[in-house]
């Protein structure tokens, strides 16, 4: 049975079988914990049901592609996860180019269906603090509207973050998705929450990805999210990606379409400012 009163150090010791000799930011999640022998690990608590299981399954699934590296999982249960700590360095163009190549290989590893969860992962998962349902589908435009755009639009309208009259613009995008989505593509193996904060530039010159909301999806969604909040050397990342796996014509016009999902998630979690960005993205998609 999991002890609800555990701190990160106690959880790390129990899950790794090693004594803890120190910790930093012990009240935070994730926290840095030092194990005997000097090994530093990251300890993360997941209070929502299934959150840790979803993240661990995502890390295993992404790692199994042998493409972009992820931190090794050193132990976990339903509430706690212990992973290796990645020493970080400074982003550089060469690492960005390699990251683009590796991200293309990750996507090419594929998924059984759009919305497919990682093996062993729950259907009811999370993107950040927001619930995210991994319900499989075979048709990307209809699946994206039903499971990635409309649920968060409804949540934002219910919260008063998006006004009903504004919601019609986004609903119009969903209606036109079959025409706006570009050529059909097979399901890609997505990180699912690929913003700059989840990209670690390792001191060894290699990128690691953390905090996945992994599922089967359209590869342009990961790329659009990477561009949403700023990423060092993003042009080099995209150049490397396109060298390894050219994108379908018109991909630049579809960036706003794919950014609707994370922007609406942020509108639900953080308020009105992101609603305005989502409406702008929707209008751009309709104009494109």
Active site residues: 193
Does residue 44 contact residue 61 with C-beta atoms inside 8 Å?
no
DSSP line for 73-118:
EEEE-SSEEEEE---B----HHHHHHHHHHHHHHHHT--SSBTPPP
Q: Determine the Cα–Cα distance for residues 10 and 33; give it in Å rounded to an integer.
A: 10
Query: Crossing angle for the helix pair 234-244 and 93-108, nearest 10 degrees?
Result: 40
Query: Looking at the DSSP assignment, which residues form a beta bridge with residue 33?
Result: 23, 41
DSSP line for 113-165:
SBTPPPTT--SEEEETTEEEE---BS-HHHHHIIIIIHHHHHHHHHTTSS-HH
Q: Determine the Cα–Cα distance for residues 190 and 118; give it in Å rounded to an integer.
A: 10
């Amino acid at each position: 049975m999991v002890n609800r009163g555990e701190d990160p150090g106690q959880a790390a010791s129990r899950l790794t079988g090693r004594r803890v000799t120190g910790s930093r930011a012990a009240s935070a999640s994730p926290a840095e914990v030092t194990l005997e022998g000097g090994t530093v690990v990251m300890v993360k608590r997941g209070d929502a049901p299934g959150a840790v299981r979803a993240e661990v399954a995502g890390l295993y699934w992404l790692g199994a592609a042998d493409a972009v590296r992820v931190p090794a999982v050193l132990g976990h249960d339903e509430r706690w996860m212990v992973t290796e700590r990645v020493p970080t360095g400074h982003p550089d163009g060469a690492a960005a180019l390699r990251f683009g190549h590796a991200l293309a290989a990750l996507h090419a590893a594929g998924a059984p269906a759009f919305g497919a969860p990682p093996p062993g992962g729950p259907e009811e998962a999370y993107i950040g603090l927001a619930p995210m349902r991994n319900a499989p589908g075979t048709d990307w435009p209809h699946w994206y509207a039903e499971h990635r755009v409309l649920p968060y639009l409804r949540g934002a309208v219910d919260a008063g973050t998006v006004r009903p009259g504004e919601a019609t613009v986004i609903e119009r995008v969903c209606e036109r998705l079959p025409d706006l989505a570009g050529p059909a593509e097979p399901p890609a193996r997505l990180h699912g929450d690929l913003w700059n904060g989840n990209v670690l530039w390792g001191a060894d010159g290699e990128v690691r990805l953390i905090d996945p909301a992994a599922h089967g999806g359209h590869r342009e969604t990961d790329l659009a999210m990477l561009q949403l909040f700023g990423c060092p050397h993003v042009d080099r990342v995209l150049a490397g990606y396109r060298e390894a796996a050219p994108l379908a014509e018109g991909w630049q016009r579809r960036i706003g379409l794919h950014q609707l999902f994370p922007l609406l998630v942020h509108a639900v979690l953080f308020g009105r400012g992101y609603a305005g960005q989502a409406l702008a993205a929707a209008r751009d998609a309709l104009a494109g």
